[in-house]
Amino acid sequence: MSRLVEPEEELVARLRAGEEAAFVALVAMYQTRLLRLAQSCGVSRPVAEEVVQDTWLAVVRGVDRFEGRSSVKTWLFRILLNRARTTAAREHRTASLPEGDVDDRFDSAGAWVTPPVPWSDQVDDRLVAEDLARRVREVLPTLPEVQRQVVVLRDIEGLTSAEVVDLVGVTDGHQRVLLHRARARIRQQLALEMERA
């Protein structure tokens, strides 16, 4: 018997009414995702956990101001990114965007010149796939902060480019460049490791 997931808008309405169960349900839905996004901001796991905790406090305190103009997920991600930026500023961290590292796999519009072969087509063993996923998680922290945020939001969280532009505060073109740079770096690192193996 499958359990129906309660619409997020209903959870927000129940949270406004002070129902603890609604808060617990939202935390269950988003805790892991918020932690992953916080870590993409270039902070340690303990700091990321603190940022997520601050985010949940802000949600409880500010739920009455949620107007529903965006999805609940986008609202939560925006709060988290604002908290993470404040924390990073407090720790005197700055993001750097290296220039000139886009490789020749992309054309001037940012599309693949030759599309990569999907990794899933080359993976015939679940253990290999799990190892690959683990390795991608290990490579993510080596990316510059903004590239890491964009690839997490787009490729892991599945946000649209418009949502990412709004959340990260970059232009659409810059978002595409950041995404392509991040993907290219991850792919390049994995290709090097696969060649060595």
Give, for all 197 residues of the chain, the pLDDT tens digit.
444 456 888 888 898 998 899 999 999 999 999 999 998 887 888 888 999 999 999 998 988 888 888 888 999 999 999 888 888 777 644 444 444 444 566 666 666 777 665 544 544 556 566 777 788 888 888 999 999 999 999 988 889 999 999 999 999 999 999 999 999 998 888 888 777 76
What values do phi and psi take at 112, rounded to 5?
-65, 135
- CATH topology match: 8-90 vs 119-196: no
The first and second tokens of residue 89, run together, are 């500023």
So where are the chain's domains?
8-90, 119-196
Query: Which residues 6+ apart lie within 8 Å of 108 measured at CB?
Result: none
Cα–Cα distance measured from residue 59 to residue 76, given in angstroms and rounded to the nearest whole number: 8
| pLDDT computed for residue 96 by the predictor | 44
Cα–Cα distance measured from residue 154 to residue 177, given in angstroms and rounded to the nearest whole number: 13
The first and second tokens of residue 32, run together, are 């892991």
| pLDDT computed for residue 146 by the predictor | 92
Angle at 37 between CA 119 and CA 131, to 5 degrees: 30
CATH of domain 8-90: 1.10.1740.10
106 bridge partner residues: 112
Cα–Cα distance measured from residue 43 to residue 90, given in angstroms and rounded to the nearest whole number: 12
Q: Are 89 and 145 in contact (CB under 8 A)?
A: no
Cα–Cα distance measured from residue 38 to residue 117, given in angstroms and rounded to the nearest whole number: 30
Topology of domain 119-196 in CATH is: Arc Repressor Mutant, subunit A (1.10.10)
